[in-house]
Structure 1
Amino acid sequence: MNGKVTVTHAQVLAWRLRRQGLAPRTDASVPEVVERLAGVQAQVASSAQLAVASRQVSPSPDAVSQALDARSIVKTWAMRGTLHWLTPAHMGAYLSLLGAARTWEKPAWQKAFGVSAAQMAAMGEAVDEVLDDRVLTRQELTDALLSRAGFAGLAGQLSSGWGAVLKPLAWTGRLCQGPTRGQKVTFAAPRSWVPGWRGIPEPDEAAAVVIPAYLRAHGPATPEAFDAWLLRGATRKATLRGWFASLGERLVPVEVDGAGGAYVLAEDADELARTEPSREVRLLPGFDQYVLGPGTSDARLIAPARRKAVSRAAGWISPVVVHAGRVVGVWDFTDEGVAVTLFEEDAEVPRAGLEAEVAHLARCTGREDRRLVVRRG
């Protein structure tokens, strides 16, 4: 890693807006947007659909469901243990880095969820057999496992909506989500469900895919910011440093407003340095990657006093108003239209920009006659 780029945080935010297809918007397909964002959190399907559509110049209401049906995107537990859409080509790499932490082998995890490391290993082998060329609902999968010796006492863990016991099975390439049956989730084996599945690569190989993908969308960033996005800081520090060091001259250090420690891909350094600050207004849905990438604790993106307005109880991330790259308010759909609450301390946000965003939300959702209501709070 040699050379250094010196930029302002305003440039960083503008660069991320461009790289994520937010300013300007993109004509990319759903899989291209998902890949460009290094995955899309899909815990709340409506928010995930809007995250993709809000980046497209001409969004299609059926595009996401068509991509899922075509398996050009796949839903599985990924970053931070939450459900994500990933593209088949890179899905294994993301899962590899998540599995590298081996969280289910730690005594604290086993105590919290009541499953031993030996049971998890046996469960992985059983799932390989149970899902061999089959697609099962959660109940069908649970029943199949409970009928086997050694799993009789795990009914509660297997049926839990949080999927804590199923996540390690996803990270080791044993299962992913299949097509829904009505309102029921199904599970399939990636080897039979994911097009071109090549298994789970070694973590060092995977890091050369995932770290650049993250930096293209959310850089410049520190290794610690990457790890917080990946697994809430659960990666061993020496392992994390080794992954970044292995990228060598592919990375360039960046100084942002005088602070060091961050990196960007060498191929992106000149573009970042030339980027002019943005004055664009955007209304982004809840759980948007623009916020999740750097995290809500990034004080240069969200003022610390306003973090609770964005990161709420039970892990809920609010829809946000972005102006000049920073979060300056929150918003929501109401029966009458779109209600925007701008933070009192922020400079005036152009109403024309907010109205244009409300019009784009209407195109994304099919909602018509969307009235804008603006207040300060």
Structure 2
Amino acid sequence: MTAVTVLDATALNRATLARQRLLARADISVPEAVAHLCGLQAQEPQEPFVGLWSRLARFDPAELDAALTGRAVVRTHLMRRTVHLVTADDALAWRSRHDAMLRQRATSAYRRELAGIDLDELAAAGRAVMADARARTMAELVAGVEDRWPGRPRRALGELLIAGLVPMAQLPPRGLWRVRAGVRNLPLATWLGRDVDPLPADADDPVGQRLVRRYLAAHGPAAPADLRAWCGLAGLPAAVKAVREELVSFRDARGRELLDLPDAPRPDPDTPAPVRFLPAFDNAILGYRDRGRIIDDAHLGLSVAGHRAVLVDGRVAATWTVREERLRVSPLRPLSPAEREAVHAEGRELAAFLDAGMEDVPVE
């Protein structure tokens, strides 16, 4: 019987950093990076710029702006019912596979307020309102349907339509560099000029199989529970089973089975990890159920509360923010002099990227 290799937290950390392009900045295009990462969480519109700056060599915000306005990438509700920045191809290919989850999560949030509403009828009404191909705010969309469901909370109707029932894109200028703009919605198919891919009636779940492979390429080695935590989909066992023979298997220090692509990078645990500044809600942290490979249990709440993280030796060791036009770093543990200098140096680079006037970076 062949012994299964055990990967400790450091080995998993270095694999994650390599997959996430956080060991060395990659010389690839913005759409290529967004595709490889399986999207970036983007409910805070400016955060993906920091996420890409930390991962790409010579990142220019104009490239992401061009990808958004050129419809190569799109902002839409997808994994975990959160707004993600994904490629147009992935948005169209993955949306139907996420439909049931999106609908369930949207309805569970407003179960009492929406009781008795036929969801298919509501979806049809929403599509009819949007049939003129005019972008609308959530309030404008609700105004077009609320007469049919008088007395229902407008926010419940709007969030169900936009985040659960009708595949929507959030249009630029929202999400452009240094632009503050409200959400204007248009059906994905209208904005991208192609219909959302239908969900194949196949018990082996081919869309799910592709999700498994893509997730492992960006996040592996990982357990099926980590995959579920990343995408929010519970019904992936058939997909995992179908691709299992393609994969290699490991164990973590707790004995959990971890799956991975055979040729994916798994660097030596002694590989140096540079300081990296992560945006709020980065999937390098949130893309797992067990986040111990990158963040200590004591700090788990920071990752879901929107705090921006600083990685030191590959792990969350500080948070950062911009206050009073200064980038400030707050360590979560004592930093050595060398670590403080590395944090300060990378912070100066980020400060220059965010605002050329921010030269000093206090490490408090």
TM-score under structure 2 length normalisation: 0.85
CA separation in 2, counterparts of 1:338 and 1:195? Answer: 41
What are the within-5 Å matches in structure 2 for residues 115-126 of structure 1? 115-116=115-116, 119-126=118-125
Equivalent residue of 1:262, what SS?
strand
CA separation in 2, counterparts of 1:260 and 1:136? Answer: 47
Contact kept in structure 2, 1:8 and 1:257, CA below 8 Å: yes
Q: What is the CA distance between 1:167 and its match in structure 2?
A: 1.4
Summarize the Cα distance change of 1:169–1:102 in structure 2 as closer, same or farther, 3 Å threshold: closer
Q: What is the CA distance between 1:217 and its match in structure 2?
A: 1.3
Letter of the aligned partner of 1:262 in structure 2?
L
What are the within-5 Å matches in structure 2 for residues 340-359 of structure 1? 340-344=329-333, 350-359=339-348
CA separation in 2, counterparts of 1:18 and 1:193? Answer: 34
2:172 aligned to 171, 176, 179, which one?
A: 179
Greater shift in the superposed pair: 27-36 or 83-92:
27-36
1:33 aligns with 2:27: no
CA separation in 2, counterparts of 1:31 and 1:105? Answer: 29
**What is the aligned partner in structure 2 of residue 230 from structure 1?**
231
Count the aligned residue pairs: 354
**Structure 1 unaligned runs (5+)?**
none
Equivalent residue of 2:61, what SS?
coil
RMSD: 2.9
Summarize the Cα distance change of 1:324–1:344 in structure 2 as closer, same or farther, 3 Å threshold: closer
CA separation in 1, counterparts of 2:110 and 2:273? Answer: 49
Contact kept in structure 1, 2:352 and 2:359, CA below 8 Å: no
Greater shift in the superposed pair: 101-110 or 150-159:
101-110
**What is the aligned partner in structure 2 of residue 333 from structure 1?**
322
Letter of the aligned partner of 1:167 in structure 2?
A
Letter of the aligned partner of 2:190 in structure 1?
S
Give the % identical residues. Answer: 24
CA separation in 1, counterparts of 2:75 and 2:26? Answer: 23
Q: What is the CA distance between 1:109 and its match in structure 2?
A: 5.2
Contact kept in structure 2, 1:336 and 1:370, CA below 8 Å: no
Letter of the aligned partner of 1:94 in structure 2?
W
Contact kept in structure 2, 1:358 and 1:370, CA below 8 Å: no
Letter of the aligned partner of 1:320 in structure 2?
A
**What is the aligned partner in structure 1 of residue 10 from structure 2?**
10
Greater shift in the superposed pair: 33-42 or 88-97:
88-97
Equivalent residue of 1:45, what SS?
coil
Contact kept in structure 1, 2:9 and 2:292, CA below 8 Å: no
Summarize the Cα distance change of 1:106–1:72 in structure 2 as closer, same or farther, 3 Å threshold: closer
CA separation in 1, counterparts of 2:246 and 2:192? Answer: 30
Greater shift in the superposed pair: 68-77 or 351-360:
351-360
What are the within-5 Å matches in structure 2 for residues 243-262 of structure 1? 243-257=239-253, 259-262=255-258
Contact kept in structure 2, 1:36 and 1:217, CA below 8 Å: yes
1:264 aligns with 2:265: no
1:90 aligns with 2:90: yes
Cα deviations by residue, 1:277-332 (Å, 9 ceiling, x for unpaired): 3332112122222112125x623422222223x24xxx522111112211112122
Cα deviations by residue, 1:141-178 (Å, 9 ceiling, x for unpaired): 2222224xx33333523566xx24421124xx4x3223
What are the within-5 Å matches in structure 2 for residues 139-288 of structure 1? 139-147=139-147, 150-157=148-155, 163-170=159-166, 173=167, 175-180=168-173, 183-202=181-200, 204-231=205-232, 235=234, 239-257=235-253, 259-268=255-264, 271-272=265-266, 276-288=270-282
Contact kept in structure 2, 1:131 and 1:189, CA below 8 Å: yes
Equivalent residue of 1:339, what SS?
strand
CA separation in 2, counterparts of 1:107 and 1:129? Answer: 21
Q: What is the CA distance between 1:31 and its match in structure 2?
A: 1.6
Q: What is the CA distance between 1:76 and its match in structure 2?
A: 0.8
Letter of the aligned partner of 1:77 in structure 2?
H
Equivalent residue of 2:227, what SS?
helix
**What is the aligned partner in structure 2 of residue 132 from structure 1?**
131
**What is the aligned partner in structure 2 of residue 294 from structure 1?**
288
Greater shift in the superposed pair: 221-230 or 334-343:
334-343
Summarize the Cα distance change of 1:349–1:316 in structure 2 as closer, same or farther, 3 Å threshold: farther
TM-score under structure 1 length normalisation: 0.83
CA separation in 2, counterparts of 1:106 and 1:358? Answer: 38
Contact kept in structure 1, 2:309 and 2:317, CA below 8 Å: yes
Letter of the aligned partner of 1:36 in structure 2?
H
Greater shift in the superposed pair: 244-253 or 6-15:
6-15
Contact kept in structure 2, 1:287 and 1:319, CA below 8 Å: yes
**What is the aligned partner in structure 1 of residue 354 from structure 2?**
365
Equivalent residue of 1:217, what SS?
helix
